[in-house]
Amino acid sequence: MTEHIETITPAEVKAKLKKGEAISLIDVREDEEIAAGKIPEAKHIKMMEIPDRLDEIKKDEEHIIICRSGKRSENVSYFLHDHGYKVKNMVGGMLAYERDSE
């Protein structure tokens, strides 16, 4: 894992959503974490299910990977990047996203 994964901040994600940009958000948290709330536009694919659900992730789009704090999403980002996907990791995860909420 020597290659650097691009990152995006929660504020940048919010700005893209506010502008109505078509972006792909993938939330890799567990069901109970999702139950506490997620970004409405995000698709939920649990981290452990990613390898089995690659067919649901389009290779011709850039995907923003989200988890609680940014660590699991970083791992998923590396995995997807290694499989030829364009990805960015949302730094700080949902903790930062919710903290930055207006």
Q: What is the gyration radius of the CA atoms in the chain, in angstroms?
A: 13
> Do 62 and 23 form a contact (C-beta atoms < 8 A)?
yes
Contacts of 12 (CB under 8 A, 6+ apart): none
Catalytic residue, from 26, 50, 66, 67: name it.
Answer: 67
Question: How far does CA 75 lie from the centroid of its chain?
Answer: 11
Reply yes or no on whether 67 is catalytic.
yes
Write out the catalytic residue numbers: 67
